[in-house]
Amino acid sequence: MSAQFTKWAACWGNATSIINQTECTYAKNMTYRYPVRMCFDGSRMRIRFSNIAGTEPVSFTASVAKSSRKAVIREDTIVKLRQGGSRRIVIEPGKEVTSDEFDFDMKAGEYISVSIHVWEATQMNSAVLITGPLSGGFYSYGDHEYESVLPLDETRKTNWYFFLNTIDVWTEEKNHALVCYGDSITAQDWPDYLALRAWDLGYRDVSIIRRAISGTRILREYTCKTYAAYGIKGETRFPVELNTAGVSAVLIQHGINDIIHPVGVEVNPWRPLSDLPTAEEMAEGFTEFYVKPAREMGLKVYGGTLIPIYGWRTYASFREELKDQFNEWIRTTDTLDGVIDFDLALRDDNNPYAFRKEYDSGDHLHPSAEGYKAMAEAVDTELLK
């Protein structure tokens, strides 16, 4: 083991939540392969898997190998993962497990691929949907865990990450992680663009760890199956997702779903308008659930303003007012180490309630690719040091 390596640091990570509950939530004899670009040099590795949303135990085998971005693996580098010495990875419902540590020499900029083979009927509740230029994997029918190339006629792309949660490397003391925490805005492209920007600017000591789940709120959560289950609320999520080796700071952009989800029981019985919080309640939740625990961990804490929503299907003036009040709190509170003004970066100069045209994906809530690039550009480089 190289003497220059002294600590564990997360090199890659996502959140894990519950998938949208459809007719079929089981898989059997399937191979999932996820290519990941390494941002640190290292000599050892450990991988965390999550069944945080499961109601049954799950089991599978998993392996890691050096690979291309398209998940073509080098068979001579395959390491078969073990948990407690066993090749079978077993995760109880609501739990996470970490593989045994293993030797694995890697260089920053190289790709590895994590392959998972689900061989018996397995509940596939625990997953997260992630997009971006560094994100996306593949699934194949059958057992192809150790094959260099997944069979073309049995394979499709996917942006659903099942079970795979965090990759830690044994690396240099200087290396550290910045956690980007949020909802669907953060589950989409901007953290990937931020990672690319950091690399291009020469900030090679920081990993961008995305902990984001679509639809989540600070204060409440929906668990009904009649409508899409929108993941775990902030109070429950944050302690789990801040379990990140080498983390030095967290950037939090969260709260828009607290504002846009409550619509009234006549529209959706699980989204009463009484769920609509005040800006003070959102600020209190943000402080109690996020800022205080992060401070107790010795982390720097940065806030991101909520971005435009004008034209979104539940848009109303009272929601705009609430968003503006919460953003004003984010901009002026003395509880944070700094603020990234995503709202200012994306809004139209002539209509501050709306996106600039080129930054709107079309649904008036999620940015376009250009908008996500603008979000990454808005992040102060101080966070990358």
pLDDT tens digits, residue range 219-254?
988 766 655 556 678 988 999 999 999 999 999 999
Max mean pLDDT among 14-28, 111-125, 210-224, 256-270 falls in: 111-125
Q: What would the mean pLDDT of 10-35 be, rounded to a whole number? A: 90
In order of their start, the domains of the chain are 9-167 (2.60.120), 173-384 (3.40.50.1110)
- 100-105: long-range contacts (C-beta < 8 A, 24 or more apart)? 100/46, 101/44, 101/45, 101/46, 101/170, 102/44, 102/45, 102/46, 103/1, 103/43, 103/44, 103/79, 104/42, 104/43, 104/44, 104/45, 104/64, 104/79, 105/42, 105/43
- pLDDT for the residue 25: 86
- pLDDT at residue 365 is higher than 60: yes
317-361 pLDDT, tens digit per residue, is: 999 999 999 999 999 999 999 999 999 999 999 999 999 999 999
| β strands within 173-260, DSSP E | 176-182, 206-212, 247-253
Q: 373 and 192 in contact (C-beta within 8 Å)? A: no
Residue 383, Cα to own-chain centre: how many angstroms? 18
Q: By the 8 A CB rule, do 100 and 81 touch?
A: yes
Residue 255 has pLDDT above 80, yes or no: yes
**Residue 161 carries which side chain, given as an amino acid letter?**
Y
Quick one: average pLDDT of 52-69?
Answer: 96
Cα 105 to Cα 350: distance, rounded to the nearest angstrom:
53
Model confidence over 160-193: pLDDT tens digits? 999 999 999 999 999 999 999 999 999 999 999 9
pLDDT, position 227: 57
Q: Residue 20: its pLDDT value, please? A: 72
